[in-house]
Amino acid sequence: MIIEPSRNLTCVKTPFYRDDEDEPEPNTSLLWEVERLRLKLDKVKQEKAKLLCNQKTLMLHTQALSALVSELTQKLEAERRDRKQTESTYQFLVTNLLREKADLEIMLDTIVQHSDLMEELLHEQCIRDPLTGLFNRRYLAKSLERELCRAQLTERSLGLIMLDVDHFKGFNDTYGHEAGDVVLRELGWLLKTESGALDIPCRYGGEEFMVILPEASLEKTQQQAEHLRRQVKRLKLTYLSQDLPGVSISVGLAVFPQHGVTGNQLMQAADAALYQGKTQGRDRVVTASG
């Protein structure tokens, strides 16, 4: 843009000129150029002021935008943390549910797989004496009839041993019933460990025990009865860390078919022999007569 100098310019005298000298003619072109530059400078100043104003406005907008971006970033970060925490919680719950599901499946499989074992354990509780672990009286009666039928079919003998702890009532009165239970438990353990693989040791009741010996002859039954009597005398009994006196047993025995062909006959014969041993001084083995 070309700025035309004003035509109304007047020339001002300066002290450089003397009154007696003629004034020189002003340089119009130079004056025009100076005026043009002055106007241009004014315009530059105006534009600079406008730029500064725009710069301030832009800085304000930038600060506002930065604050907005920061706020949005914080919100997004908070939402991300919440989502991550929610996902973590969900994953934790899913993992626990899966673990519980697996545990339940294992428990179910275990119950199914061991149902037979549980039935067997229940059956054991029905046929076992809880104190000694031996078979109980009901199982004794069934087993004796079963083994007698087998002996009759195979025409083989069968032995029956009945034994009783000597002076057991006096032992209980002196040392207490709990000490008496120690005697019965130890005797039950001895009968289980010292009986043959086919033998059936049972607790008949109280301090009385019976052992069924399938396919045992009279001689073998007598040998086993004497062996049990000797082993009982070797028992080391303790109660509450104190030694108890040893005990002895009286034994009566009967054998199929010499002393009876039914369970009741054999049991009566063995019981009569046991009673005879008691009356003869105890701590002995007596064979049924007949």
The Cα angle at residue 252 between residues 251 and 257, in degrees rounded to 5: 145
For residues 73 and 114, give the distance between their C-alpha atoms in angstroms, rounded to a whole number: 60
In contact, 226 and 127? CB cutoff 8 Å: no
- Token pair, residue 121, equals 């354990």
Q: Which amino acid does the sequence have at 262?
A: T
- The residue from 207, 208, 215, 219 that is catalytic is 207
Residue 207 among the catalytic residues: yes
Residue for token pair 């943390």? 81
Beta bridge partners of 244: 237
- Token pair, residue 269, equals 């014969």
Q: What amino acid positions are annotated as catalytic residues? A: 207
